[in-house]
Amino acid sequence: MSQELVVRRHTGSDLVRYIAELAQLRIRVFRDFPYLYEGDLDYERRYLETYTRSPRSVVVLVFDGADIVGASTGLPLSDETPNVIAPFVEQGYDPAEIFYFGESVLLPQYRGRGLGVRFFEEREAHARGLGGFCWTAFCAVDRPLDHPRRPPDHLPLDRFWEKRGYCREPSLKAVFSWRDLDDDAETAKPMTFWMKRLETPG
């Protein structure tokens, strides 16, 4: 591990050259609870292409030397897939006013160094720089408290998100499907959105 990590923002088609590494990183990190994701490289590449097609997207990358060890994504909600947009429309929000955060993934050995906070700061700054956005939002998977794979020492990120100014919105829900570890097929997972009003300078 290098002493000095480098954090950089990339947008739109500039992301193409990082797709393979990002796919591998997502698969590796999302195997852990609460996502328990049995990764699929073809799915990952299709998912990440959503960001390459959006000229206003952002991916914040963390480099340790030449290696990507962390990443965080975002794009205008109106550029997202229909299943992500629909809950907001149903609740009366204008998708054009929302900048959506996809995920933050960071290898375990790099955690505890402030990069989670940096991911939010960088994406919010990108959204402010674009202009026209009133909200930022993301979603998180809902897992039962008695889930058999929940580690005894698992701490939800709710308090971390609340400190960043985000509020859980129970009325905003979506369903995503993926294959859990040890499962033979995909199953539907409930996801709840969190939102924050995006303050702009002046």
- The residue among 39 and 134 whose pLDDT is bigger is 134
Whole-number average pLDDT of the chain: 92
How many of the other CB atoms lie within 10 Å of CB of 23? 20
Give alpha helix (H) positions in the chain: 19-29, 41-53, 82-90, 115-130, 158-163
* pTM of the predicted structure, to 2 decimals: 0.92
pLDDT for the residue 42: 84
pLDDT for the residue 86: 97
pLDDT in tens, 73-112: 999 999 999 999 999 999 999 999 999 999 999 999 999 9
56 has a pLDDT exceeding 60:
yes
**If we measure between CA atoms, which residue out of 91, 87, 112, 177 comes closest to residue 141?**
177
pLDDT for the residue 33: 86
Beta strand spans in the chain (E):
6-10, 58-64, 67-76, 98-106, 135-141, 167-178, 187-197
SS3 37: strand
Q: Which residue ranges form the domains of the chain, and what is each CATH number?
A: 6-197 (3.40.630.30)
